[in-house]
């Protein structure tokens, strides 16, 4: 068994935790060297855990030896280590959603598979979630072990921008180590690259008062390469626009498009009314005036926006009345009942 590259630590299990079952969801992509050390660390942190727990490892179409390592380690550690193998690389958000769909616990933990998140923090975060009756406890990498220019500074800017636009005030949106109440996180669906905005998505189904943050341990990457770069900053800005729209106009998109359409149409109508008065009262020629074309353009644009609002309303109704679709394809896995495949503490 490989020695864990993380510093030694003693598991800290809070006393008298409320009854629950725990699922740890870990998306992995080309992390072959981290599979066994990660599972070692999880078992160190949760070995004496009082309540049943499982680990759901999601292989996001890795091109290295990660799938083989996952199979080997699952046999080595036991049936509570479950594998979800995606057909190809669907990116982190889809992989995380696949893990959430497969998780059976009443409390769900998500974390990265690169050993930068430390499972030692999990019991403390779960205890806070249950004792304070929260829906989410998000990790805060207060002492983040990443590069300043390419990782820390863009992340700080993004965190402040996201908090300002969504109204969910957290100091670290990008930390993957989060603890959810399953009933809350399973009521939202993740698409695209929206894993960065999970607290904002959760705020659409629960109050921000039930969302908290907790300082967590963060380690420097030891094995493998980071999957993130400075280019993700631009994707975050685009995703943030969509999140802002979705949070405020998800159930009433006609108000958003219709409001813009009415504003454009009103301005265009006023311009045309002015030109009509110039033509009829003053007798001036208006056929070649740029304002005439501008007025017609604004009226037409306004009609198009109102029409888009109507279509958006129809699509919204279809979305809410139809069954949900999935953003990934996974290989069939062995079905388990509610009592099988859990790690249980024999002393309990």
Could you give the CA distance from residue 21 to residue 11 in angstroms, rounded to a whole number? 18
- pLDDT band at 12; cut points 50, 70, 90: confident
> Quick check: is 269 in a domain?
yes
pLDDT digits (tens, 9 = 90+) for 19-75: 999 999 999 999 999 999 999 999 999 988 999 999 999 999 999 999 999 999 999
Q: Based on the domain organization, do 241 and 97 belong to the same domain? A: yes
Higher pLDDT, 189 or 130: 130
Q: Based on the domain organization, do 49 and 165 belong to the same domain? A: yes
Burial of 294 (0-12, 13-18, 19+ CB in 10 A): middle
Q: Based on the domain organization, do 197 and 241 belong to the same domain? A: yes
Higher pLDDT, 97 or 148: 97
Q: Looking at residues 295-315, what average pLDDT do you find?
A: 88
Q: Looking at residues 222-250, what average pLDDT do you find?
A: 67
Q: Based on the domain organization, do 166 and 197 belong to the same domain? A: yes
pLDDT of residue 146: 58
Q: Looking at residues 11-25, what average pLDDT do you find?
A: 89
pLDDT of residue 125: 96
> Quick check: is 4 in a domain?
no
User: What percentage of the chain carries pLDDT values higher than 70?
Assistant: 84
Two structure tokens written together for 239: 């995703």
Higher pLDDT, 164 or 145: 164
pLDDT of residue 325: 57
Of 248-252, 270-274, 281-285, least confident by mean pLDDT is: 248-252
Number of domains in the chain: 2
Q: Are 211 and 170 in contact (CB under 8 A)?
A: yes
Q: Based on the domain organization, do 166 and 257 belong to the same domain? A: no
Q: Based on the domain organization, do 85 and 190 belong to the same domain? A: yes
Q: Based on the domain organization, do 276 and 214 belong to the same domain? A: no
> Quick check: is 337 in a domain?
no
User: What percentage of the chain carries pLDDT values higher than 90?
Assistant: 45
Name the range with the highest mean pLDDT among 6-20, 43-57, 300-314: 43-57
- pLDDT band at 1; cut points 50, 70, 90: very low
Q: Based on the domain organization, do 278 and 266 belong to the same domain? A: yes
> Chain-wide mean pLDDT for the chain?
84
> Quick check: is 44 in a domain?
yes
Question: Looking at beta carbons, which pairs linking 223-229 to residues 24 or more positions away fall under 8 Å?
Answer: 223/5, 223/31, 223/33, 223/34, 223/37, 223/114, 223/115, 224/30, 224/31, 224/32, 224/33, 224/34, 224/114, 225/30, 226/114, 227/29, 227/30, 227/92, 228/151, 229/150
Could you give the CA distance from residue 4 to residue 223 in angstroms, rounded to a whole number? 11
Report in angstroms the alpha-carbon separations of 179 from 40, 109, 149, 176, 205: 20, 4, 29, 9, 16
> Quick check: is 185 in a domain?
yes
Report in angstroms the alpha-carbon separations of 188 from 259, 277, 320: 27, 54, 12
Among 187, 216, 249, the domain-final residue is: 249
Q: Based on the domain organization, do 148 and 268 belong to the same domain? A: no
Higher pLDDT, 346 or 132: 132
Closest C-alpha to 240, from 137, 315, 162, 328? 162
> Quick check: is 5 in a domain?
no
Q: Are 29 and 61 in contact (CB under 8 A)?
A: yes
Two structure tokens written together for 21: 């079952």
Q: Based on the domain organization, do 237 and 293 belong to the same domain? A: no
CATH classification at residue 34:
3.90.550.10
Q: What SS3 state is found at 56? A: strand
Among 249, 267, 283, the domain-final residue is: 249
- pLDDT band at 78; cut points 50, 70, 90: very high
pLDDT of residue 84: 96
Could you give the CA distance from residue 76 to residue 335 in angstroms, rounded to a whole number? 20
- pLDDT band at 235; cut points 50, 70, 90: low
Q: Based on the domain organization, do 60 and 198 belong to the same domain? A: yes
Could you give the CA distance from residue 204 to residue 139 in angstroms, rounded to a whole number? 20
Q: Based on the domain organization, do 317 and 176 belong to the same domain? A: no
Q: Looking at residues 193-222, what average pLDDT do you find?
A: 84
Among 220, 249, 278, the domain-final residue is: 249
User: Which structural domain, as residue segments, surrounds residue 127?
Assistant: 22-249
- Which helix (H) or strand (E) segment is 14 a member of? none
Q: Looking at residues 247-260, what average pLDDT do you find?
A: 80
pLDDT of residue 272: 93
Q: Looking at residues 293-309, what average pLDDT do you find?
A: 91
pLDDT digits (tens, 9 = 90+) for 111-135: 998 888 999 999 999 999 999 999 9
> Quick check: is 138 in a domain?
yes
pTM: 0.77
Q: Looking at residues 266-280, what average pLDDT do you find?
A: 92
> Quick check: is 330 in a domain?
no
């Amino acid at each position: 068994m490989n020695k864990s590259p993380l510093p030694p630590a003693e598991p800290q299990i809070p006393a008298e935790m409320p009854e629950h079952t725990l699922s740890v969801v870990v998306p992995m992509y080309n992390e072959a060297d981290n599979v066994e050390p990660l599972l070692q660390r999880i078992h160190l942190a949760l070995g004496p855990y009082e309540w049943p727990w499982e680990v759901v490892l999601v292989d996001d179409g890795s091109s290295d030896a990660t799938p083989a390592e996952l199979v080997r380690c699952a046999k080595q550690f036991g049936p509570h280590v479950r594998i979800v193998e995606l057909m190809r690389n669907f990116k982190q958000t889809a992989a995380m959603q696949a893990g959430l769909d497969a998780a059976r616990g009443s409390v769900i933990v998500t974390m990265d598979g690169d050993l930068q998140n430390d499972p030692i923090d999990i019991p403390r975060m779960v205890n806070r979630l249950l004792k304070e009756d929260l829906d989410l406890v998000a990790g805060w990498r207060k002492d983040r072990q990443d590069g300043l220019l390419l990782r820390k500074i863009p992340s700080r800017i993004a965190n402040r921008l996201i908090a300002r636009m969504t109204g969910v005030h957290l100091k670290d949106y990008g930390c993957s180590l989060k603890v959810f109440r399953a009933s809350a996180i399973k009521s939202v669906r993740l698409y695209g690259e929206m894993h960065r905005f999970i607290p904002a998505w959760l705020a659409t189904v629960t109050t921000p008062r039930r969302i908290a943050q907790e300082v967590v341990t963060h380690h420097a990457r030891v094995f493998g390469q980071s999957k993130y770069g400075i280019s993700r900053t631009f994707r975050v800005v685009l995703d943030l626009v969509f999140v802002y729209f979705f949070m405020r106009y998800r159930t009433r998109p006609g108000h958003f498009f219709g409001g813009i359409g009415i504003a454009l149409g009103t301005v265009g109508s006023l311009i045309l009314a002015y030109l009509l008065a110039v033509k009829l009262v003053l007798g001036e020629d208006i056929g070649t005036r740029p304002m005439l074309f501008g007025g017609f353009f604004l009226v037409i644009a306004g009609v198009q926006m109102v029409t888009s609002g109507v279509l958006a309303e129809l699509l919204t109704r279809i979305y809410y009345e139809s069954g949900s679709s999935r953003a990934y394809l996974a290989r069939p896995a062995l079905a388990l009942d509610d009592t099988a495949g859990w790690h249980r503490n024999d002393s309990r």
